Amino acid sequence: MNKNKDVAAEEPSGALMADVARLAGVAISTVSRALANPGRVNEKTRAKINAAARQLGYTPNAMARGLRVGKSNTIMIILPGSPYYGASQIIPQVLQSINKSLIQRGYNLMIANLDREEASERHILDLAFSGTVRGAIIFSSKLPEIEGRSPAGAGLPIVSMLFDMSDAGLPSVVTNDREAIRDATMELIRSGHRRFLYIAGPEGNYHDVERYAGVLEALRTEGLSEEAVSRSGGDLEYQHGFEIGIRAADDFMKLAVRPTAVIATSDDMAISFMSIIQRAGLVIPEHVSVVSFDGSPVCEFCSPPLSTIKQPVEEMGRAAVELLLGAIGQTQDAATMRTVIRSQLILRESIAPARD
Protein backbone atom coordinates (compact mmCIF):
# COMPACT_ATOMS: atom_id res chain seq x y z
CA MET A 1 0.00 0.00 0.00
CA ASN A 2 2.67 2.45 0.98
CA LYS A 3 4.66 1.71 -2.14
CA ASN A 4 1.67 2.40 -4.39
CA LYS A 5 1.00 5.60 -2.49
CA ASP A 6 4.55 6.76 -3.11
CA VAL A 7 4.30 5.95 -6.83
CA ALA A 8 1.09 7.98 -7.04
CA ALA A 9 2.84 10.90 -5.42
CA GLU A 10 5.66 10.60 -7.94
CA GLU A 11 3.57 10.62 -11.12
CA PRO A 12 2.73 14.34 -11.41
CA SER A 13 6.30 15.51 -11.02
CA GLY A 14 8.04 12.73 -12.99
CA ALA A 15 10.62 10.10 -12.10
CA LEU A 16 13.20 12.65 -10.96
CA MET A 17 11.59 12.97 -7.52
CA ALA A 18 11.89 9.19 -7.18
CA ASP A 19 15.60 9.46 -8.02
CA VAL A 20 16.04 12.02 -5.23
CA ALA A 21 14.16 9.74 -2.83
CA ARG A 22 16.30 6.72 -3.71
CA LEU A 23 19.57 8.63 -3.40
CA ALA A 24 18.52 10.12 -0.05
CA GLY A 25 17.13 6.79 1.19
CA VAL A 26 13.65 8.15 1.94
CA ALA A 27 10.11 7.85 0.59
CA ILE A 28 8.93 10.06 -2.27
CA SER A 29 6.29 11.53 0.00
CA THR A 30 9.07 12.61 2.39
CA VAL A 31 10.85 14.38 -0.47
CA SER A 32 7.62 16.17 -1.33
CA ARG A 33 7.10 17.29 2.26
CA ALA A 34 10.73 18.41 2.63
CA LEU A 35 10.55 20.62 -0.44
CA ALA A 36 7.02 21.95 0.06
CA ASN A 37 6.97 22.29 3.85
CA PRO A 38 10.53 22.04 5.23
CA GLY A 39 9.37 22.53 8.80
CA ARG A 40 7.57 19.18 8.72
CA VAL A 41 10.79 17.21 8.10
CA ASN A 42 13.66 16.94 10.58
CA GLU A 43 16.84 18.81 9.74
CA LYS A 44 19.00 15.72 9.17
CA THR A 45 16.55 14.20 6.68
CA ARG A 46 16.02 17.55 4.97
CA ALA A 47 19.80 17.98 4.57
CA LYS A 48 20.07 14.54 2.90
CA ILE A 49 17.22 15.37 0.52
CA ASN A 50 18.69 18.77 -0.38
CA ALA A 51 22.10 17.20 -1.01
CA ALA A 52 20.56 14.52 -3.23
CA ALA A 53 18.55 17.12 -5.14
CA ARG A 54 21.65 19.21 -5.79
CA GLN A 55 23.66 16.16 -6.87
CA LEU A 56 20.99 15.14 -9.37
CA GLY A 57 20.31 18.68 -10.56
CA TYR A 58 16.74 18.51 -9.31
CA THR A 59 14.99 21.77 -8.43
CA PRO A 60 11.61 22.34 -6.76
CA ASN A 61 10.32 23.57 -10.13
CA ALA A 62 9.60 19.97 -11.05
CA MET A 63 7.95 19.27 -7.74
CA ALA A 64 5.86 22.41 -7.99
CA ARG A 65 4.12 21.05 -11.09
CA GLY A 66 2.76 18.25 -8.93
CA LEU A 67 1.22 20.70 -6.48
CA ARG A 68 -1.76 22.92 -7.11
CA VAL A 69 0.32 25.96 -8.00
CA GLY A 70 -1.76 29.11 -7.84
CA LYS A 71 -4.48 27.56 -5.71
CA SER A 72 -3.09 28.75 -2.40
CA ASN A 73 -4.75 31.68 -0.68
CA THR A 74 -1.56 32.58 1.22
CA ILE A 75 0.55 35.64 0.42
CA MET A 76 4.10 35.81 1.73
CA ILE A 77 5.71 39.06 2.84
CA ILE A 78 9.52 38.99 2.84
CA LEU A 79 10.91 41.41 5.40
CA PRO A 80 14.41 42.93 5.44
CA GLY A 81 17.22 40.93 6.99
CA SER A 82 17.90 43.18 9.95
CA PRO A 83 15.22 45.85 10.32
CA TYR A 84 18.05 48.33 10.22
CA TYR A 85 17.97 52.09 10.20
CA GLY A 86 14.40 52.74 11.08
CA ALA A 87 12.38 50.08 9.32
CA SER A 88 11.59 48.55 12.71
CA GLN A 89 9.42 51.57 13.53
CA ILE A 90 7.10 51.23 10.54
CA ILE A 91 7.03 47.46 9.96
CA PRO A 92 3.98 46.97 12.25
CA GLN A 93 2.05 49.61 10.30
CA VAL A 94 3.01 48.00 7.00
CA LEU A 95 1.96 44.54 8.16
CA GLN A 96 -1.35 45.81 9.54
CA SER A 97 -2.20 47.57 6.28
CA ILE A 98 -1.27 44.61 4.08
CA ASN A 99 -2.99 42.06 6.32
CA LYS A 100 -6.21 44.07 6.45
CA SER A 101 -6.29 44.44 2.67
CA LEU A 102 -5.58 40.73 2.12
CA ILE A 103 -8.22 39.53 4.56
CA GLN A 104 -10.81 41.69 2.82
CA ARG A 105 -9.94 39.89 -0.43
CA GLY A 106 -9.98 36.38 1.05
CA TYR A 107 -6.23 35.89 1.46
CA ASN A 108 -3.98 35.12 4.42
CA LEU A 109 -0.60 36.66 5.22
CA MET A 110 2.55 34.65 5.90
CA ILE A 111 5.55 36.52 7.33
CA ALA A 112 8.92 35.23 6.10
CA ASN A 113 11.86 34.95 8.48
CA LEU A 114 13.31 38.21 9.73
CA ASP A 115 16.92 37.08 10.12
CA ARG A 116 17.44 36.40 6.39
CA GLU A 117 20.28 33.99 7.14
CA GLU A 118 21.03 31.41 4.45
CA ALA A 119 18.79 28.78 6.06
CA SER A 120 15.79 31.12 6.22
CA GLU A 121 16.42 32.38 2.68
CA ARG A 122 16.44 28.76 1.46
CA HIS A 123 13.12 28.32 3.22
CA ILE A 124 11.73 31.41 1.48
CA LEU A 125 12.87 30.01 -1.86
CA ASP A 126 11.36 26.60 -1.13
CA LEU A 127 8.03 28.24 -0.33
CA ALA A 128 8.19 30.24 -3.56
CA PHE A 129 8.94 27.21 -5.73
CA SER A 130 6.63 24.77 -3.97
CA GLY A 131 3.30 26.41 -4.67
CA THR A 132 2.69 26.93 -0.94
CA VAL A 133 2.16 30.65 -1.52
CA ARG A 134 0.19 32.43 -4.22
CA GLY A 135 2.34 35.55 -4.38
CA ALA A 136 4.84 37.63 -2.45
CA ILE A 137 5.45 41.22 -1.33
CA ILE A 138 9.08 42.01 -0.60
CA PHE A 139 9.65 44.88 1.78
CA SER A 140 12.56 47.31 1.45
CA SER A 141 15.17 44.79 0.29
CA LYS A 142 16.39 42.77 -2.66
CA LEU A 143 15.06 39.33 -3.52
CA PRO A 144 16.83 36.45 -1.77
CA GLU A 145 18.99 34.44 -4.14
CA ILE A 146 20.92 31.25 -3.43
CA GLU A 147 22.72 29.10 -6.01
CA GLY A 148 21.04 30.94 -8.86
CA ARG A 149 17.53 30.53 -7.46
CA SER A 150 15.32 33.50 -6.61
CA PRO A 151 11.56 33.76 -6.08
CA ALA A 152 11.26 35.48 -9.47
CA GLY A 153 12.46 32.27 -11.11
CA ALA A 154 9.49 30.38 -9.68
CA GLY A 155 7.04 32.34 -11.80
CA LEU A 156 5.56 33.70 -8.57
CA PRO A 157 3.80 37.10 -8.75
CA ILE A 158 5.93 39.51 -6.70
CA VAL A 159 5.57 43.18 -5.77
CA SER A 160 8.37 45.25 -4.24
CA MET A 161 7.45 47.79 -1.57
CA LEU A 162 9.65 50.71 -0.49
CA PHE A 163 12.39 49.60 -2.88
CA ASP A 164 12.21 50.42 -6.58
CA MET A 165 12.84 47.27 -8.63
CA SER A 166 10.73 48.30 -11.62
CA ASP A 167 13.84 48.32 -13.83
CA ALA A 168 14.25 44.61 -13.02
CA GLY A 169 10.66 43.92 -14.05
CA LEU A 170 9.11 43.86 -10.58
CA PRO A 171 6.07 46.10 -9.94
CA SER A 172 7.17 48.51 -7.21
CA VAL A 173 5.38 50.76 -4.73
CA VAL A 174 7.63 53.52 -3.45
CA THR A 175 7.51 56.98 -1.98
CA ASN A 176 9.16 60.14 -3.27
CA ASP A 177 12.26 59.87 -1.07
CA ARG A 178 14.39 62.33 -3.00
CA GLU A 179 11.74 65.00 -3.49
CA ALA A 180 10.47 64.76 0.09
CA ILE A 181 13.85 65.21 1.73
CA ARG A 182 14.77 67.94 -0.76
CA ASP A 183 11.68 69.87 0.32
CA ALA A 184 12.53 69.37 4.00
CA THR A 185 16.05 70.65 3.41
CA MET A 186 14.65 73.65 1.56
CA GLU A 187 12.46 74.36 4.58
CA LEU A 188 15.57 74.44 6.77
CA ILE A 189 17.40 76.70 4.34
CA ARG A 190 14.46 79.11 4.29
CA SER A 191 14.74 79.19 8.09
CA GLY A 192 18.30 80.46 7.81
CA HIS A 193 20.27 77.20 8.17
CA ARG A 194 23.48 77.00 6.15
CA ARG A 195 25.44 74.18 7.82
CA PHE A 196 24.02 70.64 7.99
CA LEU A 197 24.83 67.21 9.32
CA TYR A 198 23.34 64.30 7.36
CA ILE A 199 23.04 61.03 9.30
CA ALA A 200 23.36 58.30 6.69
CA GLY A 201 22.11 54.73 6.49
CA PRO A 202 24.08 51.77 5.11
CA GLU A 203 26.29 52.79 2.19
CA GLY A 204 24.71 52.12 -1.20
CA ASN A 205 21.26 51.50 0.25
CA TYR A 206 18.51 52.57 -2.16
CA HIS A 207 16.81 54.89 0.34
CA ASP A 208 20.04 56.49 1.51
CA VAL A 209 21.15 57.18 -2.07
CA GLU A 210 17.82 58.82 -2.90
CA ARG A 211 17.59 60.85 0.30
CA TYR A 212 21.13 62.19 0.26
CA ALA A 213 20.65 63.15 -3.38
CA GLY A 214 17.62 65.17 -2.28
CA VAL A 215 19.74 67.07 0.26
CA LEU A 216 22.32 67.91 -2.41
CA GLU A 217 19.63 69.05 -4.85
CA ALA A 218 18.31 71.50 -2.26
CA LEU A 219 21.78 72.89 -1.61
CA ARG A 220 22.44 73.40 -5.32
CA THR A 221 19.05 75.05 -5.80
CA GLU A 222 19.89 77.59 -3.08
CA GLY A 223 23.42 78.21 -4.32
CA LEU A 224 25.15 76.35 -1.47
CA SER A 225 28.08 74.00 -2.01
CA GLU A 226 28.19 70.35 -1.01
CA GLU A 227 30.66 71.37 1.67
CA ALA A 228 27.69 72.80 3.58
CA VAL A 229 26.73 69.26 4.60
CA SER A 230 28.80 66.82 6.68
CA ARG A 231 28.02 63.10 6.82
CA SER A 232 28.00 60.63 9.68
CA GLY A 233 27.24 56.91 9.47
CA GLY A 234 27.06 55.29 6.07
CA ASP A 235 28.95 52.07 6.72
CA LEU A 236 27.78 48.55 7.51
CA GLU A 237 29.49 48.21 10.88
CA TYR A 238 26.58 49.90 12.65
CA GLN A 239 23.40 48.46 11.16
CA HIS A 240 20.79 49.60 13.63
CA GLY A 241 19.44 53.13 13.49
CA PHE A 242 19.83 53.87 17.19
CA GLU A 243 23.53 52.95 17.07
CA ILE A 244 24.08 55.14 14.02
CA GLY A 245 22.40 58.07 15.79
CA ILE A 246 24.57 57.63 18.88
CA ARG A 247 27.74 57.70 16.82
CA ALA A 248 26.45 60.72 14.87
CA ALA A 249 25.96 62.60 18.16
CA ASP A 250 29.59 61.90 19.05
CA ASP A 251 30.72 63.11 15.60
CA PHE A 252 28.58 66.24 15.98
CA MET A 253 30.04 67.15 19.37
CA LYS A 254 33.60 66.85 18.00
CA LEU A 255 33.09 69.28 15.09
CA ALA A 256 34.93 72.58 15.47
CA VAL A 257 32.08 74.42 13.73
CA ARG A 258 28.85 72.61 14.44
CA PRO A 259 25.99 72.47 11.94
CA THR A 260 22.79 74.24 12.90
CA ALA A 261 20.54 71.53 11.43
CA VAL A 262 20.61 67.75 11.33
CA ILE A 263 18.86 65.63 8.70
CA ALA A 264 18.53 61.97 9.69
CA THR A 265 17.59 59.31 7.19
CA SER A 266 15.44 57.54 9.78
CA ASP A 267 13.51 58.36 12.95
CA ASP A 268 15.57 55.87 14.99
CA MET A 269 18.75 57.75 14.18
CA ALA A 270 17.23 61.12 15.03
CA ILE A 271 15.76 59.94 18.34
CA SER A 272 19.05 58.54 19.66
CA PHE A 273 20.96 61.57 18.34
CA MET A 274 18.64 63.96 20.17
CA SER A 275 18.88 62.02 23.39
CA ILE A 276 22.68 62.00 23.45
CA ILE A 277 23.26 65.67 22.62
CA GLN A 278 20.64 66.78 25.13
CA ARG A 279 22.41 64.79 27.83
CA ALA A 280 25.53 66.72 26.83
CA GLY A 281 23.75 69.99 27.65
CA LEU A 282 22.62 71.16 24.22
CA VAL A 283 19.05 72.30 23.64
CA ILE A 284 16.87 71.37 20.65
CA PRO A 285 16.03 73.37 18.59
CA GLU A 286 17.87 76.37 20.10
CA HIS A 287 21.30 74.87 19.39
CA VAL A 288 20.42 72.54 16.52
CA SER A 289 17.28 71.70 14.54
CA VAL A 290 16.50 68.07 13.72
CA VAL A 291 14.32 66.46 11.04
CA SER A 292 14.11 62.79 10.09
CA PHE A 293 12.40 60.35 7.73
CA ASP A 294 9.72 57.66 8.26
CA GLY A 295 6.96 59.31 10.30
CA SER A 296 6.87 56.84 13.17
CA PRO A 297 4.07 57.55 15.67
CA VAL A 298 6.63 57.79 18.49
CA CYS A 299 8.04 61.02 16.98
CA GLU A 300 5.10 62.99 18.33
CA PHE A 301 6.03 61.95 21.87
CA CYS A 302 9.76 62.73 21.73
CA SER A 303 11.15 65.66 23.70
CA PRO A 304 10.85 67.94 21.87
CA PRO A 305 8.37 66.41 19.38
CA LEU A 306 10.38 65.37 16.32
CA SER A 307 9.78 66.83 12.86
CA THR A 308 9.64 63.99 10.37
CA ILE A 309 8.75 63.05 6.82
CA LYS A 310 5.86 60.62 7.16
CA GLN A 311 5.83 57.71 4.74
CA PRO A 312 2.29 56.77 3.68
CA VAL A 313 2.80 53.13 4.65
CA GLU A 314 -0.89 52.29 5.06
CA GLU A 315 -1.69 53.58 1.59
CA MET A 316 1.42 51.92 0.17
CA GLY A 317 0.42 48.59 1.73
CA ARG A 318 -2.99 48.76 0.08
CA ALA A 319 -1.42 49.69 -3.27
CA ALA A 320 1.04 46.77 -3.05
CA VAL A 321 -1.81 44.33 -2.40
CA GLU A 322 -3.80 45.70 -5.34
CA LEU A 323 -0.82 45.34 -7.65
CA LEU A 324 -0.11 41.81 -6.46
CA LEU A 325 -3.68 40.58 -6.75
CA GLY A 326 -3.85 42.19 -10.18
CA ALA A 327 -0.79 40.17 -11.19
CA ILE A 328 -2.28 36.99 -9.74
CA GLY A 329 -5.52 37.56 -11.63
CA GLN A 330 -3.57 38.70 -14.71
CA THR A 331 -5.49 41.97 -14.72
CA GLN A 332 -2.49 44.17 -13.90
CA ASP A 333 -1.88 47.05 -16.26
CA ALA A 334 1.59 46.58 -17.72
CA ALA A 335 2.13 50.34 -17.51
CA THR A 336 1.84 50.39 -13.71
CA MET A 337 5.28 49.01 -12.97
CA ARG A 338 6.11 51.88 -10.61
CA THR A 339 3.63 53.44 -8.21
CA VAL A 340 4.82 56.53 -6.33
CA ILE A 341 2.89 57.70 -3.26
CA ARG A 342 3.98 61.00 -1.79
CA SER A 343 5.30 61.40 1.74
CA GLN A 344 4.33 64.32 4.00
CA LEU A 345 6.59 66.66 5.97
CA ILE A 346 5.27 67.07 9.51
CA LEU A 347 6.77 70.11 11.24
CA ARG A 348 7.07 69.95 15.01
CA GLU A 349 9.08 71.65 17.76
CA SER A 350 12.44 70.10 16.83
CA ILE A 351 12.90 72.74 14.12
CA ALA A 352 13.44 76.48 14.60
CA PRO A 353 15.12 79.33 12.66
CA ALA A 354 18.89 79.24 12.78
CA ARG A 355 20.61 81.41 15.38
CA ASP A 356 23.65 83.51 14.54
Q: What is the pLDDT of residues 206-248, one digit of tens each?
A: 888 999 999 999 999 999 999 999 999 877 554 577 888 999 9
Identify the pLDDT of residue 8: 35
Torsion of CA 90, 93, 97, 102, to 10 degrees: 90
β partners of residue 307: 291
- Residue 333 pLDDT class (50, 70, 90 cuts): low
CATH class (in words) of the domain with range 2-65: mainly alpha
Q: Where are the alpha helices (DSSP H) in the chain?
A: 2-10, 16-24, 28-36, 43-56, 60-65, 87-104, 118-130, 177-190, 206-221, 241-254, 267-279, 313-328
- Residue 341 pLDDT class (50, 70, 90 cuts): very high
Q: Does position 265 have pLDDT exceeding 50, yes or no?
A: yes
* CATH superfamily, region 177-311: Response regulator (3.40.50.2300)
Share of the chain above pLDDT 70, in %: 84
Q: What is the pLDDT of residues 71-124, one digit of tens each?
A: 678 999 988 765 544 556 778 888 899 999 999 989 999 988 656 677 777 878
Q: Where in the sequence of the chain do the CATH 3.40.50.2300 domains occur?
A: 74-175+314-341, 177-311
- Chain centroid offset of residue 137 CA: 10
Least confident of 99-103, 166-170, 343-347: 166-170
Q: Where in the sequence of the chain do the CATH 1.10.260 domains occur?
A: 2-65
pTM of the complete model:
0.75
Identify the pLDDT of residue 14: 40
Highest mean pLDDT among 102-106, 280-284, 326-330: 280-284
CATH class (in words) of the domain with range 74-175+314-341: alpha beta
